[in-house]
Amino acid sequence: MVCLWPLAVFDCQDGNPHDYSGDISGICDQIHTACKGWGTNEDALIEALGPLGPVERFHVAKRFEEEYGTKLVDLMKKESGGSDFGTALQLLAQPIEEAECSILKKACKGMGTEEKLVVLVLAGRTNKEIQVLKKTFYNMYGEDLAVKMASELRGDMEAFITACLQAEEVPFDPEIHTEEAAEDAANRFDKAGREKFGTDESALFKIICESPPAFLKMVNLKYVERAGYSLARSIEKELRGDSEKAAIHALNMKLKPRETAAIFIENQMKGIGTKEYALTAGLMMFQGIMGQGFPPYEKEFGKPLEDRLKGELRGDFEKLLIAMANAEVKIDYVEEA
């Protein structure tokens, strides 16, 4: 599975000292200067934060607090407020795991839960990412993430997110994950859905969440041979609403993560009105696996992402998201089997 985070996140969680790369202190000084005195220099903030890849953003957030004794996200809240531009700056000003927990917190704010954001953060993630998210959410908000999700969600959606939070994906083992095992899993998936009167959702969720990506690809092929269509099509037939979308997102993050990321980003700009917060969150989270300029987006939709953003956004918010999309991404990710 593709891990969305740089290795620096896990090094920090393991208690290893930060190895700040590049001119991290210089970027922190640039941000500090942009916020000094009367008024904020928005262009300077875009220049400082916009072009950073996930590794550099993580280091800047950590280093800024060390140098100036205040969290960078708190400074951005003070300087930029609650506009789309300000909210985007606040996401970029946090270590990645904290930014994602703040997305979850926002998803649960007010009347009703914004399930799309919950799915974005929790569905189709590696075991290590889920474990860090649970720890970070508790440290930030004093709440157990699983308990919080259970209180916000209902029915199949609650059951699926609970399965995601259990972080029980098994490592790929060619001696265990054989063609015969894939055929058996495809059979169990079929019996839980197409061949059963009334869908056994928990059985479907278990196969999606516990199967390593390489094995799930084998299961998908076996299922196509058996049913004549894919696992994703089966989910569309058997589930409805948010749980259907969540299960398909998790499945496709294992089978085709970059295409899935491109589709999520495009969906935030389709139709009437752009979903600015979800668009920002998606760009931030997928930046590391999509690369500079988000080439998988252009491959999927036949148009550079920068051009699409220019057609949807305006002002400083547009400048910032284009800078994010065009950031020179430093890759140090682990793609798990």
Instruction: Report yes or no: 84 and 276 within 8 Å, Cβ to Cβ.
Output: yes
197-241 pLDDT per residue, tens: 567 899 999 999 999 999 999 999 999 999 999 999 999 999 989
What is residue 331's predicted lDDT score, i.e. its pLDDT?
58
pLDDT < 50 positions in the chain: 336-337
**Two structure tokens written together for 278:** 């979800």
pTM for the predicted model, two decimal places: 0.93
One-character DSSP codes across 182-251: HHHHHHHHHHHTTTSSS--HHHHHHHHHHS-HHHHHHHHHHHHHHHSS-HHHHHHHH--HHHHHHHHHHH
Please list the residues that pair with 335 across neighbouring strands. Answer: 2
23-32 pLDDT per residue, tens: 899 999 999 9
**Two structure tokens written together for 163:** 């399965």
Q: State the burial class of residue 95 (Cβ atoms within 10 Å of its Cβ: 0-12, 13-18, 19+).
A: buried
How many angstroms separate the CA atoms of 337 and 332, rounded?
16
